[in-house]
Amino acid sequence: MNFLTHLECSRCGKEFDIDKVWNLCPECEKPLFARYDLKAVSRAVNPEIIFKRMPNLWRYSELLPVRSAKNRLSLGEGFTPLFKATNLGKILNFDNLFIKDESLNPTSSFKARGLGVAVSRARELGITALSIPSAGNAAGAMSAYAAKAKIPAFVFMPRDVPKPFIVECQLLGAQVTLVDGLISDAGKFAKKELIKHNRFDMSTLKEPYRLEGKKTMGYEIAEQLGWELPDVIIYPTGGGTGLIGMWKAFDEMEKLGWISNKRPRMVCVQSKGCAPIVRAFRNGSEFAQPWDNAQTIADGLRVPAAVGDFLILQALRESNGIAIDVCDKEILKSVEIIGHAEGLFLSPEAAAPLTAFQQLQESGWINDKDKVLLFATGGGLKYTHLWS
């Protein structure tokens, strides 16, 4: 049984038919949110029922947009480990430090959540070709699920992305086009091809359903911590779908009566070489201006402009959170510290939250009584060139 009722513009509030194919809101060109009959959901399912289900993101199927079970693609995504980082905590003299390890998802990153749900919904809607601009992990995830769905996949990447990302997509059957410049340039090139070849745009927040896959991180955090949320969540932010998705999940869970109204303080982490959200947050701006000459070793953070910028900033401010930038040298050091302490080889993006934590702990923004969750969004094996 599915409880999806309509799509709603996150900016102007206009509603749209779920049986039609949409990208951005045609009125204001902002992201669309999937909405559910939460009262009916609360009558149909509860945490006790969910606890008994298979350990993947489809355990929350009543709160996901794919109506028919036959269209739910799965490669084992979701329900990743959340554990207390005891060794790391001893090094940092901090007792309540936790890590959510998303590197164990298919294609080694949290991107599998969003693309798994989005491709499943695309198949259900009869979409016949998928297109994505990506700095790496999103392309790999879309390629994997497109292969599973038998839908042609077209990937557009900056020419300088690490070779493992390119090879991964090609071996999963996608057609890869390399573009000079950044992910924003890849997006512009892909847009021209969309119109010419009638492909569907799977760009970050430019369709409604990737967000729904990402929001399952919020549900899992609550479930794995006994339906209580941590005091602080530190999250590496490029396009920001995960942070926005978790904030949406918290709102849904409160309305369902599964959690209290207590919210984590959300922390957005970006690289000093590409920090449009940090700059906008510090300036008190509602939107983030594009970042010129974006440069960072963390490819997933090299996003000069995010279509969901106002939603990221809104979540930060509503949660009394903060946006912080960290340098690449510190990020690489954090990869090493986490590896030595906890046995995890993480990507630069995934290690950036540790750098942010250290700065926030030193400044006193995080206190000793806080329960802090670091989001490790992906594994490091595609980044070995940084240490060669």
Q: What is the mean pLDDT of residues 150-171?
A: 95
Question: For tokens 């077209």, what's the residue?
Answer: 154
Full-model pTM = 0.96
Task: Report the candidate in 67, 276, 81 with the shortest Cα–Cα distance to residue 184.
Answer: 276
In a domain, residue 293? The reply is yes
In a domain, residue 346? The reply is yes
Name residues whose C-beta falls within 8 Å of residue 28's C-beta, 6 or more positions apart in sequence.
9, 11, 12
In a domain, residue 20? The reply is no
Q: What is the mean pLDDT of residues 200-208?
A: 95
pLDDT digits (tens, 9 = 90+) for 230-258: 999 999 999 999 999 999 999 999 999 99
Check pLDDT > 80 for residue 1: no
The tokens for 155 are 């990937």
Q: How far is CA 269 from CA 121, 139, 231, 251, 357, in A?
A: 30, 22, 17, 22, 10
Decide: 360 and 366 in contact? Cβ < 8 Å.
yes
Check pLDDT > 90 for residue 205: yes
The pLDDT assigned to 195 comes to 83
* Residue 356 phi, psi dihedral angles, 5° rounding: -65, -40
The pLDDT assigned to 388 comes to 80
Q: pLDDT exceeding 70 applies to what percent of the chain?
A: 100
> CA-CA distance, 87 to 82, in Å (whole number)?
15
pLDDT digits (tens, 9 = 90+) for 261-275: 999 999 999 999 999
Helix (DSSP H) and strand (DSSP E) numbers for the chain: 13, 13
> CA-CA distance, 98 to 338, in Å (whole number)?
12
Name residues whose C-beta falls within 8 Å of residue 384's C-beta, 6 or more positions apart in sequence.
none
E strand intervals along the chain: 4-9, 15-16, 32-36, 82-84, 97-101, 130-133, 153-158, 175-179, 200-201, 232-236, 265-271, 322-326, 372-376
Residue range(s) defining the domain that contains residue 288:
82-109+208-387
The tokens for 51 are 């606890």
> CA-CA distance, 22 to 199, in Å (whole number)?
12
The tokens for 185 are 């340039």
Name residues whose C-beta falls within 8 Å of residue 338's C-beta, 6 or more positions apart in sequence.
88, 99, 344, 346, 351, 354, 376
The pLDDT assigned to 9 comes to 98
Decide: 229 and 222 in contact? Cβ < 8 Å.
yes
> CA-CA distance, 209 to 312, in Å (whole number)?
17
CATH number of the domain enclosing 89: 3.40.50.1100
> CA-CA distance, 224 to 214, in Å (whole number)?
16
In a domain, residue 233? The reply is yes
In a domain, residue 267? The reply is yes
> CA-CA distance, 328 to 369, in Å (whole number)?
29
pLDDT digits (tens, 9 = 90+) for 217-232: 999 999 999 999 999 9
> CA-CA distance, 232 to 177, in Å (whole number)?
39
Check pLDDT > 80 for residue 171: yes
In a domain, residue 336? The reply is yes
In a domain, residue 117? The reply is no
Computed over every residue of the chain, the mean pLDDT equals 96
Q: How confident is the model at residue 2 (pLDDT cuts 50, 70, 90)?
A: confident
The tokens for 365 are 């923004």
Q: What is the mean pLDDT of residues 24-49?
A: 97
Number of domains the chain is built from: 1
pLDDT digits (tens, 9 = 90+) for 173-193: 999 999 998 888 888 888 888
The pLDDT assigned to 240 comes to 95
Question: Which sign does the torsion angle of CA 151, 110, 74, 208 carry?
Answer: negative
In a domain, residue 257? The reply is yes
Q: What is the mean pLDDT of residues 327-337?
A: 97
Q: How far is CA 112 from CA 19, 22, 138, 356, in A?
A: 24, 21, 7, 25
